[in-house]
Amino acid sequence: MTDMEPASLENLCVLYHSANYIVVNKHWDIRIDSKMWYEKQTVQSQLKLRFPDLVDPGTYYGFRFCHQLDFSTSGALCVALSKAAAGNAYRCFKDRLVTKAYLALLRGTVEKETMTLNFAIGKNIAEGKTHMMCIDGTEDCENPKPSQTELKVLEYGTYDGEPVTKVLLQPLTGRTHQLRVHCSAVGHPIVGDYTYSLGKDNSPYRMMLHAYNLRIPLPKEPIHVTAPDPFLPHIDTKWVPERLMKTLEGALEHLLDWCKEEESKPPDETSLVDEKISSPEETEEQRAQCQQWLSEWSLD
C-alpha cells in the first residue's frame, strides 16, 4: 500500500516490536480508537487483527496507547503491551523526557529558518467551533495554557503550484492540536488542514503532518524510532522541492544532540521549556492522561 491510498485493516506498518511495546507507523486517515459502533477501522482494530494474542481483555479496547495522534496525522505511535509498560512510558512523558519530531508542509514561505512558537492554547467555545482549539487573545478562547513549539525550515518549494515550506516541528508541550494551531497562528497553516483553514484547504489528499521521530528514554528499554518521510516528490508528485535549506538528517541530529544535553543537566539547570510551562507538580491534564493510559477500562 502506498502512502496516498486509504487505510485498511490489513495494512499495519510495524516499526518496532518487543515484549513490552509496539510502535506503528499510523496511516493518515484512521482513528486510534473509537466507541462508535459504526467505526470499524481504527488502529485498535488493526492491532487486534495482526496481534490477536496480545489483546489485553482487562482494557476497553485491548491495547494501551502511550500518546495520541489526530485522525489526519500519520507517523510513529507507541503502544504499551501491559499496565506496567504503560506506567513506565507515562513517567517519561510526565517528566518531559520524550522527544517528538514532526514533519509538515506549511502554506506559504516561512521566512525565518528557525522559530520558537510561544502561543498559549485554549479551547474554542464559539458556536460551531467547539471541536477546535485557539490561541490566547482570540475571542471565545477558554482556559489557555502555555504551549511551545520549535520550528526549523528544511526546504522551500511548491505544492500543486502554490508556495509551501517543508519544516521540522518539535512540540515541547503536548496541547491538543498544538502544531496545527501554532502554525496557523503564524500565518502558515499546514497543507490540507481542513479544520484550521475553516474548510478552505480541501484539495490535498491528506493533511501534511507526520510524526517522524519518537524517542522515549525508558531506563531498561530505550525506544528510538523513525517513521519514513512521506513528503517526497516520488510519493506525491504535487510536492516539488526547489531550495534545500537544511537536510532532514542534519536537523534531526542537531535536535537530538540538544535534547541529550538537556537530559544531562541537573534538574534545576534544564531549559527545555520556560519555567512557566514546566512544573514539578503533576497537573490535572497529566493525571487525566495517566488515568486514561493505565486504567482498567470497564465496558460501561
Q: Where are the domains of the chain?
A: 7-95, 97-263
- pLDDT value, residue 5: 84
Reading the block at residue 25, the C-alpha cell is 507507523
Q: Reading across the β-sheet that carries 141-145, which strands appear in turn?
A: 133-135, 121-124, 141-145
Q: In b/e form, how buried is each residue of 16-33, taking b as 16+ CB within 10 angstroms?
A: beeebbbbbbbbbebbbb
Q: What is the pLDDT of residue 282?
A: 43
Using 70 as the pLDDT threshold, list the residues of the chain that sit under it. Answer: 1-2, 37-38, 263, 265-300
pLDDT of residue 40: 81
Adjacent-strand bridge partners of 134: 122
Residue 130 confidence (pLDDT): 82
Active-site annotation, residues:
70
Query: What is this structure's pTM?
Result: 0.87
Domains 7-95 and 97-263 share a fold: yes
CATH number of 7-95: 3.30.2350.10
Are the beta carbons of 185 and 117 closer than 8 angstroms? yes
Q: What is the CATH number of domain 97-263?
A: 3.30.2350.10
